[in-house]
Structure 1
Amino acid sequence: KEAGLAGPRPRGRILDTQSAAMPTLPSDAQTLLHAPLSLVDELFAASGSGALHTGASVHIGEALTEALNAGARSVIPSLNAVRPEHVEMGALVRLVGMVQDVRDPEYYAGVYEEFSQDGQVALRTSKYRDARALPPGAHCQMRNDCIWQRTPVVCIPIPARTDWAAAAIIGEVSEGAPSAACKMPSTTLKRAAEASEDSDDAGVAVDDDAMEDDTSTTKKPRAPDVCTPCKSASAETAFARSAPVHGSYLLKVYDGVDGDELRVNDLVEIYGVLDLNDNDAPVLDGDASMLDSERQLQPPASLQPRLHCVAVRRLEPKFHPLLATVDSREEALALEGARANVTELRGAVVSAFTSVLGGDALAAELMLLCAISRVLTHHGEMPLGKLTLNVSACPPAAGAPRSPVFDGIRETLSALFPFVSSAILTINELNTAAYVPAKDHDANCLRFGALQLPAGAALLVDETTLAPGQLKEAGVRNVGALSQLCSKQKLAFDFTYCAVEFAADV
C-alpha cells in the first residue's frame, strides 16, 4: 500500500551536521523527483480501462519506494526547511506535520478527454493536480463516468516542537542538492512571499512560533482570476484573518493511509506534489459548476498551498525524531544498547530536575514520571496511565516577573522531549487567547487553539502569575478547557452550534 511507501524513517540529525553526500540516482528516480506527474501520465496511459473507475491503480508508489531506498530522501526538498515559493512547481516534496483538520471528501473529474487542434482525442488524468495543462489550441471535456474522490486535510507544523526536534525532523540534506527555482510567475511568487511574511508577524504566540492568535490581520493579497465565485474578497479576507496556522498546507489525500483514515492530531510524513497555482485552470465542459462550488470553499494557494499526496505515512504515537521507528529492528538494537546505561541515564535526568526544583529529589522523581506517562486507556471519563503534577511553594522571583523554577523546568523539559508547550496564565491572557480550536464558517477553516497538541507533548502551566481580576466569557471557557484537558485528557472543539470532544494525551 502507498501508506508504507516511505519505509523506515531515517534518524534525524541536528541541522548544522546534517549535510550528506549527493546520492547517485537512476534516471527513473530523477524523473520522479523533478517531474512526478509525467510518470503518473505514463502509468495512466498504460493502465487501460481498468484505471478509469476509481484511479486507485494510478499511483507511483513503487517508483517512490525505489527512490527512497536509493537514498533520495536527502535530495527531496523538505517543506519543514524551505518556503513553498522557493520550491519548483510540480516537483516532489516532503513534509512532516500534524493533522489540524479533516474535511469532507470532495469529488473531482479524474479523467477527461483532450481534443487537440488537429481533431485527435486522448484520455488524460487529473490525479495529483488541480490545473490541467493543455497544448495550444486544445480543449477538454470531463468524463461523467470517471468522478473520483479525494479528502482535503489541513496539515500544520507540529505545535510545541523544540528547536532540536525541528532540526531533526528535517533530517539529512545532501550537499549540492539542486535549489529548485520556483517556476511560478513572478507576481504570484511575490504575493505568496508577502502573504507569508505578513503571517509571520501576525498573531500572539502562546508558546510555539506556529501557534498564532486568531486576531491576526494578515495582509490580503490580490488573488488572480480563477472563476467568478473565487473573486469574493470577503471570503479571502476571512481566511487571511482566521488562517489555521502560518505554514499550514491543504493536503489532497487520494488513497488510504495505513488502511485507515487520517484523524485530527495525527502526526504524518508526506511525499507529494506541491501546487501554488492561483492562475486560471482549464475548466472542463460541464464541470464548471462543480469546480466553482469547491473553489469557493478553499483559500487561494498563495495563502494555503496545496500538496497532492503521493504517499502518506502516519507516525507512531510515540514518535521521536531522533529515535528509530517503533517496533523496528533498529529500535530493538538501540534499546539493547541503552539498557546497559539506563541507571546512569535516569540518574542524570533526575539530577537535572532536582537542580531546577531547588534540591527536591522526590519532586524530581515525580516530575520524570509525569513527563513520560501516557494514556493507556479510559475508565469512563477517567484517563488511566496519565499523571498530572502540581508543583507548589516555588521560591518568589527576585525582581523577575515570575519564579525562576518555571523557566528552569521548561528548559529541562525542552532539552529532553521533542514537544513542549507552556502557558503563563494571567487574566488578560485567559480573556484574549484562543485555547480551543474553533470553526470559522465564513472562512471555512478551523482556527488553531493553543491546547491542540500532539500526543506525548509536555504542557507546563504557570499559575503563579495570576492576580485578582474579572474573567470574561472567553476566559471562563479557556479555564474550563484547560481543566478538562488535565483531568480528562479531552479537548472540546468549538463548532459554533455544538462542541465535539477529541481525545488527547498531553
Structure 2
Amino acid sequence: MPSTHDWINNPLGVVEGLFAASQNNPSSAWEAKAVDFFKDQLKEKDAHTSVPSLNDVPVHYLKPNSLVKFRCLIQDMFDPEFYMGVYETIDPSTKTKVSTSFYSLLFAVNTDTDPCIYLQVDLTSRNIVTAERQTFYCVPIPGENSWFSLILPHSYANSSQARVVPSTSYVPSRQKRSYEEDDDMDTQPQKQRESHTGIPAEQHGNGDCKRQETEAPSSQTASASHLDLNFPLPGEKGPSCLIKVYEDWDSFKLNDTLEVYGILSVSPALSALADEKDASSSLLDPAECMETAEEQRVHSPPASLVPRLHMLYAKPLQHNNPLLPSGILVPSSSVLSSTMSEMASVRAELLTYLTHVLLGDALSAEYLILHLISNVYARRDVLPLGKFTLNLSGCPAVTSYTERLYQIIQQLVPSSYYLGMSLQNMNQMHLVPKKDYVANRLVSGALQLARNTSLFLDETQLEQGQLDTTGVRNVTALGNLISWQKVDYDFNYHQMEFPCNINVLIASEGRSLLPSDCQVHLQSQVTPPHMEEYLSSILMHPQASSQLKKFRMYLSVARLLDYAISDEVTKSVEDDFVDMRKEDPQSISAEDLHRMLVVARLLSLSLGQTSLSRDSWLRAKHIEMLRKSRMEQYKCVNGNEP
C-alpha cells in the first residue's frame, strides 16, 4: 500500500502500478480502481489536509505531477476533446514498444525534457485507444474575503514537501514582463476596483496593497499583458485553472463550487509547443488542430499562469466557510452539535453588535440577521423560495457609512461584493456574462457569483444623470436577480437563464429604486458628533478572533439548517390569517402573509430551531407589525414612503 507521501507526491506511480497490473487482466477496469484508490485515501481522517492547495500555495512552489486540490467555481465549460487513453511508446535505444496509460503522455513533458527526443509514440499501433474528456475553466470562488488568509493553513508554503525549485533550463521564446510592468500589473487591478466600487483598495476585503504570496514572481511568470484570466469580479487575484474531467462531467454545472483533487501539470512546454505550432503538440492537446488562433490563445494559456489539473475526485461545496467541515450537516458532526447548542446565545451577542453598528436600531439589526442567513432552499416553477432581499433605507448621508457597513459584513461572511450604484458604474460595468463566439468562451460578468455570496448594492451613490443602453441593461439584470434569483446570460442571438442564490442587501437613503422582499427604515438612536470616529470604532479588530469565529460559524450553520412546519402549526397560522382578515381586510394581504412566513422561518433558524413553533410565529408577527408601523409613520411624516 503506497504511503501518504507516495500518493500525494507521486500519484502517477500509483496509477501506473494499477495500469501495469491490469495488463494481466484485460477485463480489469483500472481507471475506476485508480479513482477509487484516491477517493478512499482522502476519506481517511484529516488526509485531505495533507494535500497542498492551489488557493494557498504559489503554483511555482508545487511539485509538477503531484496531487493538489483547488477550491473553485466553474466559470466556463469548453467543448469536449479527444485524447489517447492507451497507446504504445517506442524506446529510442532498444526500439521496443511499451503500452502506457494516458497519464504518462500528459505528464512526461517537463521543463528539462523534449518529448520529441525522449518519448516516441507509435501512431500506427493498433493498440491505441481513443477516449473523450471535458475541460472546465475554473477560477477561485469570487469575492472570498481576506479573513480566509487568517484561517486557512499555510504550512505548505514552508513545507519542503510542497516547495520545489523551479527549473530555469527551459527558456520560452516569448518575452517576460519587466519589473516595471510587473508593478503596473499589481497596482492596476486595485485602481480598477477602486473606480468600480468607490472603496479604496486598502479598505476592500479582496484587495491587498502588497503582493500576495500566491502570485508567482515576475521571473517565474509568463507575460499576462495579452491574457485575460476572466475573473468575474474586477481586481480579483489568484490562480485560474483548466480542469480536465475524465468521467461523469454531466454531473457538473456552470457556476458550481467544487473542491477538486487532481494531478497538477504546469509544464511550460505545453504552451511553448503551441506557440511554435510544433506538430507533436497535437499529442499534448488534440483539440488544437480544430481551433482558431483566438480559441487556441484562450483555451491553451501559459501553464505558469493557468495550470492544468487532471481531476481524480471532486466534491461539491455546501459552503466555503473554512471554519466548518465540509460535512457539517452530518448528524454525528461534533461541530454542528456544539454550534447548535450555542446559537441562541451567539445570536444575542450578534444582535447587540449589529444594533451598535446600525446606530442603536435593534429592529433593523433583527432584520439584518434574518437577511444574512437567508437562502434559496427550493423553487416552485419560477418562484425562488427562501430569498430575503433587504432594503435598508434611511442610511446616513455620510459618505463612509455604507462603506463601513459593508466592511463589517465582509468580516462576517465568507464571500461578498460591494457594488456602488453610481451612474458611471451602471453605464460602464459588465454585470452579465456574455458569449464570445470568436474565442469560443464565456466572458464573465460581475453577477457570475457563487451561491450564498452577499451582494451589497450601495444606492446612496446614485446621482443625477441618464442611463445609457448598458446602464438600463445592468439595472434590469439587478432587478431580475432580486426578484427571480436568476441571471440571463447574453448569447448574442438569445439569452440563457441561469438560476442563482445570492443574498442582496440594498443600502439607500429613501426607498430603493430596485425591488426588495422587505424594506426596513433605519431609525438612528444615537447621533455621534464625529461619525467617522464612531464608525471606525465599531469595526471589529481581527484580533477579536474568538467572537468573530462564533459569528461566522453561526451565520453559516443557520443558513444550512433544514426547516419544516408541522400540520398543527400550519393550522394555527391559517386561523390567525383568517382572524386578521376579519378584523381588517386591508391590514394584511397574501403578500404580507408570505413575508411573515419567511420572517418566521428565518427567525426560527436564527435561534437554532428547525421547525416553526407558536412562539416564533408570534414573534415574527410582532416584529413585522413594528416594521410596518415604522414605515407608516415615515410615510405620514414625509407624505410618501421613505
Question: TM-score band (shorter)?
Answer: 0.7 to 0.9
Q: Which residue of 2 aligns with 1:43?
A: 18
Q: Which residue of 2 aligns with 1:292?
A: 289
Q: Any residues of structure 2 matched to 1:274-293 within 5 Å, and which?
A: 274-279=264-269, 280=273, 283=280, 290-293=287-290
Separation in 1, partners of 2:42, 2:336: 29
Q: Which residue of 2 aligns with 1:19?
A: none
Q: Which residue of 1 aligns with 2:133?
A: 150
**SS state at 1:459 partner:** strand
The match for 1:248 among 235, 240, 257 is: 240
> Cα 1:450–1:237, aligned 2, differ >3 Å: closer, same or farther?
same
Q: Which residue of 2 aligns with 1:127?
A: 103
> Cα 1:314–1:182, aligned 2, differ >3 Å: closer, same or farther?
farther
Separation in 2, partners of 1:266, 1:51: 36
Q: Is the 8 A contact 2:244 2:311 kept in 1?
A: yes
Q: Any residues of structure 2 matched to 1:206-355 within 5 Å, and which?
A: 206=197, 209=206, 239-240=227-228, 246=237, 247-256=239-248, 261-279=251-269, 280=273, 283=280, 290-293=287-290, 296=296, 297-316=299-318, 318-324=319-325, 325-329=327-331, 331=333, 333-355=334-356
Q: Which residue of 1 aligns with 2:77?
A: 102
> Cα 1:201–1:413, aligned 2, differ >3 Å: closer, same or farther?
same
1:135 CA drift (Å): 9.1
Q: Is the 8 A contact 1:99 1:153 kept in 2?
A: yes
The match for 1:164 among 147, 168, 183 is: 147
**SS state at 2:122 partner:** strand
Matched positions, count? 454
Q: Which stretch of structure 1 is more off in the superposition, 274-283 or 201-210?
A: 201-210
> Cα 1:69–1:426, aligned 2, differ >3 Å: closer, same or farther?
same
1:374 CA drift (Å): 0.8
> What is the one-letter code of the residue matched to 1:411?
Q
Separation in 2, partners of 1:470, 1:131: 55
The answer on 1:84 being equivalent to 2:59 is yes
Q: Which residue of 1 aligns with 2:448?
A: 452
Structure 2 unaligned spans of 5+: 110-114, 198-203, 208-217, 503-642
Q: Is the 8 A contact 2:9 2:65 kept in 1?
A: yes
The match for 1:431 among 422, 427, 435 is: 427
Q: Is the 8 A contact 1:128 1:309 kept in 2?
A: no
**SS state at 1:130 partner:** helix
Higher Cα radius of gyration: 2
**SS state at 1:390 partner:** strand
The answer on 1:484 being equivalent to 2:474 is no
Q: Is the 8 A contact 1:251 1:308 kept in 2?
A: yes
> Cα 1:482–1:240, aligned 2, differ >3 Å: closer, same or farther?
same
1:173 CA drift (Å): 4.9
> What is the one-letter code of the residue matched to 1:38?
G
Separation in 2, partners of 1:86, 1:438: 35
1:90 CA drift (Å): 1.5
Instruction: Report the TM-score, using the length of structure 2 for normalisation.
Output: 0.63
Separation in 1, partners of 2:205, 2:411: 15
Identity of aligned residues (%): 28
> Cα 1:255–1:201, aligned 2, differ >3 Å: closer, same or farther?
farther
Q: Which residue of 1 aligns with 2:120?
A: 139
> Cα 1:385–1:71, aligned 2, differ >3 Å: closer, same or farther?
closer
Q: Which stretch of structure 1 is more off in the superposition, 446-455 or 199-208?
A: 199-208
1:37 CA drift (Å): 1.5
Q: Which residue of 2 aligns with 1:181?
A: 165
Q: Which has the higher helix share?
A: 2
1:261 CA drift (Å): 1.6
1:488 CA drift (Å): 0.8
Q: Which stretch of structure 1 is more off in the superposition, 321-330 or 457-466?
A: 321-330
Q: Residues 374-430 of structure 1: CA distance to partner in whole angstroms, max 9, x if unpaired?
A: 112223332221111111111221xxxx251x1343233222221122111111111
Separation in 1, partners of 2:184, 2:131: 36
Separation in 2, partners of 1:156, 1:148: 26
Separation in 2, partners of 1:434, 1:81: 29
Separation in 1, partners of 2:184, 2:86: 38
> What is the one-letter code of the residue matched to 2:146?
D
Q: Residues 457-502 of structure 1: CA distance to partner in whole angstroms, max 9, x if unpaired?
A: 1111100111111222222211111111111100122222322111
Q: Is the 8 A contact 2:328 2:336 kept in 1?
A: no
Structure 1 stretches of 4+ moved >6 Å: 49-55, 192-198, 284-289
Q: Which residue of 1 aligns with 2:509?
A: none
Separation in 2, partners of 1:366, 1:72: 41
Q: Residues 77-120 of structure 1: CA distance to partner in whole angstroms, max 9, x if unpaired?
A: 22111221222221221211111122232221111111223221
Q: Is the 8 A contact 1:126 1:132 kept in 2?
A: no
> What is the one-letter code of the residue matched to 2:478?
L
Separation in 2, partners of 1:503, 1:444: 22
The answer on 1:362 being equivalent to 2:350 is no
**SS state at 2:391 partner:** coil
Separation in 2, partners of 1:172, 1:131: 26
Q: Which residue of 2 aligns with 1:20?
A: none
1:358 CA drift (Å): 1.8
Q: Which stretch of structure 1 is more off in the superposition, 152-161 or 61-70?
A: 61-70
Separation in 2, partners of 1:470, 1:38: 63
1:341 CA drift (Å): 2.7
> What is the one-letter code of the residue matched to 2:165?
A
Instruction: Report the TM-score, using the length of structure 1 for normalisation.
Output: 0.78
